[in-house]
Amino acid sequence: MQFFNLHTHQGTNTPHVVELVNQYPWEFDASLPCYSIGIHPWYIDEARMAEDVRIIEQQLTQPECLALGECGLDKRISIPFDLQLRVFEQHLQWAEQHQKPLVLHIVAAFEELLHVKKKYNPTVPMIIHGFSKSKPLAKQLVEQGFYLSFGKYLLQNPELEAVFEAVPNDRFFLETDTTSASIETVYEVAARYKKQSVTVIQNQIQHNFNQVFQTNQIK
């Protein structure tokens, strides 16, 4: 059985791993077998926006493009927040048009995220990657329909054990993001925290993957 890596910035071409590689439009790599594409709030550049939009709209029609993102909102950067909101709202429109899930980068902006969700009421799945916050926030987000993806912070912060353990099994994914740790290592920690075997976690994530992405790339 394969492992699924919900979010990574570097494909490894490991035979038993399905990787959703994050792509930026200005450095798009057509050789990747499975990717997401979007404009990260850190890298919003109005001078480049028209070309970024052109590339994203082109790639959204490709079967290898499984999701939009990472995109989202970050209140700890200098990019104007109103500009971030406009770009994020454009991703929501694309997601609905193409029926693609969204991989989200959210920093200090969960209240704003919930406001946008209420405003637009998107029908596509939305996955918050790199989740590292509290159990009450995790519960609130799950109740609002979000999926949560755990990775490097699960390895680094023992306090996340209780948070991760409390997340319903049909609402989580695992990832490596920018860490050098393998996805297998993340699965091992997740299995220990859930008090399950790695195989059980693989089966659960296969189920979650099929629900969210409506494809059978994990077998």
pLDDT band at 19 (very low <50, low <70, confident <90, very high): very high
Task: Report the percentage of the chain scoring pLDDT > 90.
Answer: 94
* Contact (Cβ atoms closer than 8 angstroms) between residue 66 and residue 37: no
**Collapsing DSSP states into helix, strand and coil, what is residue 173?**
strand
In sequence order, what DSSP letters do the residues of 123-137 get, joined into one string? -S-EEE-S----HHH
**Which residue ranges form the domains of the chain, and what is each CATH number?**
3-213 (3.20.20.140)
- Dist. CA 201–CA 211, nearest whole Å: 15
Q: Say if residue 59's pLDDT is above 60.
A: yes
Buried b (16+ CB within 10 A) or exposed e, 179-212: beeebeebbebbbebbeeeeeebbebbbebbeeb
- Dist. CA 213–CA 38, nearest whole Å: 17
The pTM of this model reads: 0.96
- CA nearest neighbour of 149 among 158, 138, 140, 157: 138
Q: Say if residue 182's pLDDT is above 90.
A: yes
Digit-coded pLDDT (tens) for 78-109: 999 999 999 999 999 999 999 999 999 999 99
Digit-coded pLDDT (tens) for 149-172: 999 999 999 999 999 999 999 999
Tell me the two tokens of residue 67.
């999701």
129 is in an annotated binding site: yes
- Dist. CA 219–CA 207, nearest whole Å: 10
pLDDT band at 52 (very low <50, low <70, confident <90, very high): very high
40 is in an annotated binding site: no
82 is in an annotated binding site: no
